[in-house]
Amino acid sequence: MMRRFAAAGALAIVALGGAALAAAPDFGAAGVIPYDPPKPAPPFALPDLEGKTVRLEDFRGKALLVFFWATW
């Protein structure tokens, strides 16, 4: 009799565990944010230290670090 309960319990655990593994993960409940590909930067122009206007499009195809710094 005890073997029957043990076998039924083991079967239930395997069946429930298999069902849990087959379910699709709920990423929203886990707080996972889906990846959105980066968007291109909007076109803009700024003066450099010599007063010459520099446009973002002048650097197309090159790595560029734009660093805005303020002292307020």
- pLDDT means per 10 residues in the chain (72 residues)? 62 60 77 85 91 93 86 82
What pTM value is reported for the model? 0.41
- Nearest Cα neighbor of 58 from 37, 68, 44 is 44
d(CA 52, CA 36): 35
CA distances, 5 to each of 8, 18, 66 (Å): 5, 20, 68
Residue 50 has what pLDDT?
A: 95
Distances in whole angstroms, Cα of residue 21 to Cα of each of 7, 16, 32, 48, 72 = 21, 9, 19, 58, 54
